[in-house]
Amino acid sequence: MRSARKKQFLCIATLTFLPTILILHNLNYYRTLLFYKTSYVLFLIYLLFPLLLYLLFRKILKMSATVSSLLTISLSVLFFFFGVIQDFLLKHSLTYYLSKTYVLFFIMLAPAVYLFIKKPEAKKLLKFLSAFLLFFCISEVILLLYKVKNFNETPRLTEKVVLNKKQKTNSDSFNIYHIIFDGYTNSATLQKEFGFYNSIDSFLRDHHFYVAGKTKSNYNFTPYSLASTLQLCYLELSVEQLERTYKNYLSGNQLYRDNVVFNFFKESGYEVHSFSILEDYEHLNKLGTFVPKTPAFSIRSKTLERIILNPWLWHKLTAKKESLPESVKKSLRNYIQYNQKALANVLSEAGNQPVFNFTHFLLPHEPYVHRRATLDSLIFTDVMDHRQGYIMQIQYVNGLIKNAVTELQKNKKNIIIIQGDHGFREYGFPSVLTQLETFNAFYFPNQDYHLLYDSISLVNTYRIVLKQYFQQELSLLKDQYFIPSR
């Protein structure tokens, strides 16, 4: 009796190896990024999944412990590693056909069907699988322990900028409005690559702006670009950290959230109003497939859940090819609402204190929703048309800029900065450096632009503003640019 209980305990323990391997593997990859409520709930569900399957086969269907275990392992492999196997097969032309969802699903389901029908008492096979899974589980634990020293992989700053704290400000202080348009390239690139003349430069110059026509962003990745601008320095990044991945996106967000510029203005008595996709995971969840995913969502998309999470899979079978799935339309509505909220943040009324206002629009970046009269009339080619869609979105953005400038210049104490966080990234330009060509314009109330220059990069933005208007002793950094090697 004791021996039977021991075997049952070991059998159930073995079943938890598969989700444990998955959890440890992702912990080794995402590390501290996984430490939030959604991940904890997800991992609990994953740990319970094989145990519930085992109970189904053992207690309800009255199968033997061996058959129940083999069936549970087979179905767990299908569930937990479907996406990983599919992604691997997609990389190779010889296995591309096998990677098709319906083909791979039936291939991976076949062992479970065989076990269910034949019910073989393959105890040796179960022992082998148990040892195999235990080996991988221990390997992931060893890897985790090996990486403990560097568990928090947040990129480092090349220097820690320390600003002189100002006294509490009064009503005579300047307000600052910093507006970021995601992926807005400069006018020279629009003319060269798209044949589009951008009239916004003339509008801004007529309104006494300084337009830096040869500006480059320091990074082609939103979180790094914004972080380096607001930290007033470059980032210390490895080759792997330069790549535009979900993990690096979320790691870079942490540098944005606790930055030198925001902290300086808070300590100086300013009302700090900020609005950016980098500030809240909820933004990412609502915007669906058009933005990087949270770690929990990324993990789910590596499992069999990707079949459900992919809005296009069933839509292709049940609807018109060019129409948009309802879940995608919902994401697009949230995209529109996000940008409406961004505009509201720019135009929000100031209180009695001076204001520092930082606003990050997800425009003219894809998806290109400003193509037709209504969102419901959009089709897939509209949303992802990187040529015409981008230009039409530029024209929409220009209208927002004119509206914002007209309103903000009513207050003679407003400093206005309008920038892209990087250039256009999607059309396959011959030079990857084109991704760095970005829009950059400054309005200073006294029109004293002697510190600015045509090729100023974004990292020097606040080194100039704080030096000229807030008595900070800051020298300009050499303009440098960093892009991934692949």
- Contact yes or no for 72/98 (Cβ under 8 A): no
* Region(s) of the chain under CATH 3.40.720: 156-470
- Contact yes or no for 198/392 (Cβ under 8 A): no
- Contact yes or no for 99/90 (Cβ under 8 A): yes
Q: What are phi and psi of 290, to 5 degrees?
A: -95, 0
Count the Cβ atoms, other than its own, within 10 Å of residue 43.
19
C-alpha span between 471 and 163 (Å, rounded): 10
Low-confidence ranges of the chain (pLDDT < 70): 1-10, 166-172, 315-322, 373, 428-430, 485-486
The token pair at 423 is 């250039």
For residue 313, the model assigns a pLDDT of 74
% of the chain exceeding 70 in pLDDT: 93
Coil vs helix vs strand at 70 = helix
For residue 126, the model assigns a pLDDT of 86
For residue 457, the model assigns a pLDDT of 96
Which parts of 185-294 fold into alpha helices (H)?
187-194, 200-206, 222-231, 239-242, 246-257, 260-267, 281-286
Q: HSE, CB side, 13 Å, CA atoms: give it for residue 406.
A: 7
Give the N- to C-terminal CA distance of the chain in Å, as an integer: 60
Q: Which CATH class is domain 156-470?
A: alpha beta
For residue 294, the model assigns a pLDDT of 83
Which residue shows structure tokens 């221990």?
A: 138
Which residue shows structure tokens 């944005």?
A: 256
Q: What are phi and psi of 207, to 5 degrees?
A: -100, 25
Note the pTM of the prediction, 2 decimals.
0.88
Q: CA nearest 469: which of 169, 218, 160?
A: 169
Distances (CA, A) of 430 to 187, 215, 427: 18, 19, 9
